[in-house]
Amino acid sequence: MLKQIIKELEIPSIETIVYTNSFSLYKCLIKLRTTKEKRLIIDIIGLREIRWINSKDNPIDAIIKINPNWMLEILINTNSLTIRIKR
């Protein structure tokens, strides 16, 4: 659906990279046989790249988890961050 809208509006294609810290979602998206819904498969194929972010490196954990890591504090203090990702 998104591709159709982009085409109709004559917007240049933009590379989309999806990052997630949910390893189960990451595994589901990279293995299409985990779903039988054709529409969902088409949407998943539309995602050019999906990458998993190691939870130890995810600065958002400080906002969404009870026991966060220190990455948000490191980001604020140093204005830089190293994030390990799995392709």
pLDDT in tens, the chain (87 residues): 667 777 888 877 767 777 887 788 777 777 766 556 666 666 666 665 778 887 777 887 777 777 777 888 888 889 987 877 776
Q: Spell out a b/e string for 35-70, using b for 16 or more CB atoms within 10 Å of the CB, else e.
A: eeeeeeeeebeeeeebebbeeebbbebeeeeeebbe
Smallest CA-to-CA distance from 57 within 80, 29, 24 is with: 80
Same domain assignment for residues 6 and 48: yes
Same domain assignment for residues 43 and 24: yes
Domain that holds residue 71: 55-87
pTM of the model: 0.45
Q: Where are the beta strands (DSSP E) in the chain?
A: 17-20, 49-53, 85-86
How far is Cα of residue 80 from the mean position of the Cα atoms in its chain?
20
Same domain assignment for residues 1 and 39: yes
How many domains in the chain? 2
Same domain assignment for residues 63 and 22: no
Same domain assignment for residues 61 and 79: yes
40, two tokens: 């969902």
Same domain assignment for residues 41 and 66: no
Same domain assignment for residues 28 and 17: yes
